[in-house]
Amino acid sequence: MLDLSHIPSQYPNADVQVFVGGGINAAQAVTWQKPRGKSMGHILIVGPGGNGGAGVIGANSLAGGGGGGGSGGQTSLRFPLHLIPDTLFLYLPQGGVFQNAQVSISDNLNASNIFAQAGAGAVGGNGTAVPAGGVGGSGGGAVGSTQLRLGWQFIQQAIGGQTGATGGTTGAGSSVALPTSGLLVTAGASGAGLVAAAVSGGNGGRLTPAGVFGGTPGASGAGAATFIPESGAHGYQPIPNLLYYYGGSGGASTHGSATGAGLVQASGGDGAPGCGGGGSGAALTGSTPGVVGLGGPAFCIITCW
């Protein structure tokens, strides 16, 4: 059997610990203890995703959809365990807070203590009444030697996050393509812009190409005046045990003749860990407000063998 870069071939022989942020302040650390009987270690850390942007509630053809949130950046390191301390401190922010995910040798987040780090995705921009769709949030930046003063000698890969999709202007939201950089997370798709009277509402953005790993379904647009536009789908892990996550899709828009039950703003879908949230769709004046999709929390996987 091939030994692929010293990755453990027998899962029971490896010590794998998964840490996911969310619900805690980034200043609160989770500790990791070096396991006994192991000689090598690997850290994969992904920053938090950004929230989607808000679509405008406004007049006919004068309301843009919200942009998608950016995904977190991704960093991996491989190292001999005897060269690191017995305890590491993990700072894994929840999504939408634009705080980097970090692994430190101390509970003091001084830059000189950082061993591993991954950038946070930015929040998607809000739509405008020009109209214009909100800009997609930028992906978390790829780290360099200045951010990893202690861990750079062990770096395997440092990848920037994916930028979120730009919101729709007077029609469908924009979709997000699967990354080709080796990134394991995606940004969020965007919300649709408000279309003219008596025209079907726009579809929310989705993940493309459609059908890949089952795909993330886009939100369908409004048809009749009282048709409720669908919210974006939440991101998820498309194949169990495959380390790949999807961001949220965008909310659909109403149209300029919406009445009654049709006066509802479609929300954006939340992103899976490390992914961006979807933007909310635009809606006609008088619509009940929706919410933006939330960015997924940072996560870190530490494997020892």
pLDDT, one tens digit per residue, over 248-289 is 999 999 888 888 988 999 999 999 999 999 999 999 999 999
User: Can you tell me the mean pLDDT for 79-91?
Assistant: 96
Q: Is the dihedral of CA 171, 237, 116, 4 positive or negative?
A: negative
pLDDT, one tens digit per residue, over 25-56 is 556 789 999 999 999 999 999 999 999 999 99
Could you tell me which residues come within 8 angstroms of residue 157 by beta carbon, excluding any fewer than 6 positions away?
Answer: 74, 75, 76, 182
pLDDT at residue number 4: 40
Distance CA(247)–CA(277), nearest Å, equals 6
User: Can you tell me the mean pLDDT for 177-190?
Assistant: 94
- When pLDDT is cut at 50, 70 and 90, the band that residue 215 belongs to is low
pLDDT at residue number 218: 58
- DSSP letter string, the chain: ----TT--SSGGGSEEEEEE--SS-TTS-EEEEPPTT--EEEEEEEPPPPPPPPPPEESTT--PPPPPPPPPPEEEEEEEGGGS-SEEEEE-PPTTS---EEEESSSS--GGGEEEEEPPPPPPPPPBTTTBPPPPPPPPPPP-TTT-TTTGGGEEEEEPPPPPPPPPSSSPPPPEEPPSSS-S------PPPPB-TTSPPPPPP-EESTTGGG--PPPPPP-STTPPPPPPPPP--SSTTS-----PPPPP--BTT--GGG-BPPPPPPPPTTPPPPPPPPEETTPBP--PPPPPPPEEEEEE-
User: Can you tell me the mean pLDDT for 138-145?
Assistant: 96
* Residue 209: exposure state from Cβ atoms within 10 A (0-12, 13-18, ≥19): exposed
pLDDT at residue number 258: 87
How many Cβ atoms are within 10 Å of 191's Cβ, its own excluded? 52
pLDDT > 90? residue 124: yes
